[in-house]
Structure 1
Amino acid sequence: MSKPVNYSDLEQARTAIADYVIETPLFQSRRLNDWLGHEIFFKAENLQRVGAFKARGGCYAVRSLRANASSVERVYARSLGNHAQAVAWAARLFDIPATIYMPKTVSAVKLQATKDYGADVVLYDDIKEVSVVEKEVNERPGHFWISPFNDKAVIAGQGTATIEAIEQMPDVPDALFAPCGGGGLLSGMWIAARELAPNAQVIGVEPETANDAWRSIQAGKITPLDTPSDSIADGVRTYEIGDITFEYLKQMDDFMLVSEQRIMYWTQWLQHLLKLHIETASAMSMDAVYQWLQQQSSPKKVMVMLSGGNIDAAMMRRIWAEDQLQEIPRL
């Protein structure tokens, strides 16, 4: 089956958004490398516009609409937070009105930021009601619904983060890790890696309690969660992956699950070691790295995508309720 997004699409996206997004840095922790005996590189997309990699895909999707559609009267999105901010920010950049649907349980800091970018925000209880609205929007000329992951332009935009990361590394990585919500970031990572680091493993990571992508891969078909997740990794509580991203997720070299306790453990440790404000969904991937490195017999170079850094005070209190730093991360 031919893929709907290829590497040339990522290159086109990179050129299109170059004036709007930041080329984020790579970070390392010498202490962590010494403890583990491997080199870990962290791509700090938490320092990106809107505090997350989502700015890349949101910007490219909105810019593409402005460039290619005959009329763009309003854009819409549904999001747990980071995609909401990205679309709201990009819509303001290109002077397009935006309406964003967010669950009532959304992080307070993500809600306020989305409003601050100028979007009209609608809070909802029932996701099915939003699905009806999405269908109606897509039937109205000049009105466009932008998926947080199941959109070709979004995937192409997200993939630019991996292109940058591989170019910034001193050597070709042995493995690349990223969290999985709907799979847009991972899809873009897979496309970029197959071109720039064809021998590198691309590995997706989910919470044990929000494992819809893992379940779908196991079943060979898209399999939603039975009930909404309350994982502490709020950025990846996706109920169901998309048909576009599923085609890429099926081709990952591995897919790993992480417990809630280990998500908190690595969030504390990475915030402490890197001195960065890192979301739980970002830090979660480090436990998959830890699991993977336990299986390796020689030193490896690994890239971890830190997907975002938008955390409110309530989440910070929850993360740091118990001290996890007494257990040093050694293999």
Structure 2
Amino acid sequence: MDIQDLALAKGRIAPYTHITPILSSQLLNQWLGHEIYFKAECLQKIGAFKARGACNTVAWLIENGQKPQQIIANSSGNHSQAVAWAAGQFGIPATIYMPQSASQIKIQATRAYGAEVVLCETRAEVDALVNAKSQENGTYWIPPYNHEQVIAGQGTAALEALAELSGINALFAPCGGGGLLSGTLIASRALAPQAKVFGVEPLNANDAAQSLISQSIQRLSSTPDTLADGAMTLSVGEITFEYLKQLDGMYEIGEKPIKYWTQWLHHLLKVNVEPTSAMSMEAVCQWLQKQTRPQKVLVILSGGNIDHQTRKKVWEKDYLSQLPLVQTQ
């Protein structure tokens, strides 16, 4: 795939999705000594970037005369909502398979968008059931990340941002299955070839980092214990892994920094920010500590769907008394 695939995706989804704003905090920039810009996909349809990939895939199917009788998907949250919403836009029934551990607000929202939700005990059971269902005639499976049209759709977030911002030195995005990062890499290499692209994942769910070290896809044995529920995938995909190999680095973030930055970004940007989105800022700060001149950084805020239980865990301790400080050396 290349930038033209992202441009085509942008045209397909334009009637249905938002061009999300780019946010910044003067106070944060002052504290850090750098310019940080946030692509606010938390303000996208369904509250996450996933709307882009799902919508593009359904529109692409119809464009190519392949409108299915039913759409299915498997996800712990945002992708499930996205597919339910996208299918509804085109009048196609959808069934979504989700683990019982998924965020309750995401389960409820998926149902509210009109999809039938099937809950399973484990992610492995979810994957097995959706794979079996996908063999039925007239059924089309939209995977969360390992699909070229999903990747192309996800990449439109960075495509929009880089069309608006110039001189970006580095881009950071969370890594679950790698779809957002793959699309971000395609956009960046074409529109900002000088910029570095970094992935960020929870230390407790570091299958991508393990895969990159071993140069082969590594699969987690069980559902990881992390607040970053958008990055709880058991493994990256065969398609996305090839893009992840081209990254400039992959950061692994502990649970405490995830809580810290979820609190701070909510406070500074005045928007709902999922832990999965917020963890990227810890990676940004680690990278900035090694820089010798002011940098201009773009962070993709992947989503803002956070339920009460997760919010309660995030705020078990107040971190706002600890100011974020990173200066150039």
1:140 and 2:136 matched: yes
C-alpha RMSD of matched pairs (Å): 1.0
1:208 and 2:199 matched: no
User: What residue identity is the alignment partner of 1:260?
Assistant: E
Secondary structure in structure 2 of the residue aligned to 1:305? strand
For residue 241 of structure 1, what is the aligned residue in structure 2? 236
Measured after TM superposition, the shift of residue 93 of structure 1 is 0.3
Q: Identify the match of residue 269 of structure 1 among 255, 261, 264.
A: 264
Measured after TM superposition, the shift of residue 71 of structure 1 is 4.5
Q: Identify the match of residue 13 of structure 2 among 17, 41, 54.
A: 17
- 8 Å CA contact 1:166–1:172 kept in 2: the answer is no
* Distance of 2:67 and 2:298 partners within structure 1: 40
1:107 and 2:103 matched: yes
- 8 Å CA contact 2:98–2:123 kept in 1: the answer is no
Unaligned runs of 5+ in 2: none
For residue 260 of structure 1, what is the aligned residue in structure 2? 255
User: What residue identity is the alignment partner of 1:230?
Assistant: D
Q: Identify the match of residue 287 of structure 1 among 269, 282, 286.
A: 282
* Distance of 1:271 and 1:224 partners within structure 2: 32
User: What residue identity is the alignment partner of 2:284?
Assistant: V
Please list the CA deviations of residues 35-68 of structure 1 after superposition, one character each: whole Å capped at 9, or x if unmatched.
Answer: 1110000000000000000000010111112222
* Distance of 2:251 and 2:24 partners within structure 1: 23
* Distance of 2:67 and 2:150 partners within structure 1: 20
* Distance of 1:67 and 1:186 partners within structure 2: 26
For residue 112 of structure 2, what is the aligned residue in structure 1? 116
Measured after TM superposition, the shift of residue 132 of structure 1 is 3.3
Secondary structure in structure 1 of the residue aligned to 2:71? strand
1:174 and 2:169 matched: yes
1:312 and 2:307 matched: yes
Are the structure 2 counterparts of residues 240 and 55 from structure 1 closer, same or farther at C-alpha, using a change threshold of 3 Å? same
For residue 94 of structure 1, what is the aligned residue in structure 2? 90
* Distance of 2:5 and 2:240 partners within structure 1: 15
Superposition pairs of residues 34-73 of structure 1, within 5 angstroms:
34-73=30-69
Unaligned runs of 5+ in 1: none
- 8 Å CA contact 1:87–1:98 kept in 2: the answer is yes
Measured after TM superposition, the shift of residue 133 of structure 1 is 2.7
Measured after TM superposition, the shift of residue 316 of structure 1 is 1.0
Secondary structure in structure 2 of the residue aligned to 1:209? helix
* Distance of 1:285 and 1:70 partners within structure 2: 37
- Percent of residue pairs bearing the same amino acid type: 52
For residue 321 of structure 2, what is the aligned residue in structure 1? 326
* Distance of 1:277 and 1:126 partners within structure 2: 28
- 8 Å CA contact 1:76–1:146 kept in 2: the answer is yes
Secondary structure in structure 2 of the residue aligned to 1:60? helix
Measured after TM superposition, the shift of residue 6 of structure 1 is 1.6
Measured after TM superposition, the shift of residue 241 of structure 1 is 0.6
Give the paired residue count.
Answer: 326
1:232 and 2:227 matched: yes
- 8 Å CA contact 1:277–1:309 kept in 2: the answer is yes
* Distance of 1:14 and 1:106 partners within structure 2: 29
* Distance of 1:87 and 1:24 partners within structure 2: 19
Secondary structure in structure 1 of the residue aligned to 2:72? strand
Are the structure 2 counterparts of residues 53 and 327 from structure 1 closer, same or farther at C-alpha, using a change threshold of 3 Å? same
* Distance of 2:29 and 2:132 partners within structure 1: 51
Q: What is the TM-score of this pair, normalised by structure 2?
A: 0.97
After superposing on structure 2, the runs of 4+ consecutive aligned residues of structure 1 that deviate more than 3 Å are 126-132
Secondary structure in structure 1 of the residue aligned to 2:114? coil
Superposition pairs of residues 73-84 of structure 1, within 5 angstroms:
73-84=69-80
Are the structure 2 counterparts of residues 230 and 69 from structure 1 closer, same or farther at C-alpha, using a change threshold of 3 Å? farther
Secondary structure in structure 2 of the residue aligned to 1:241? coil
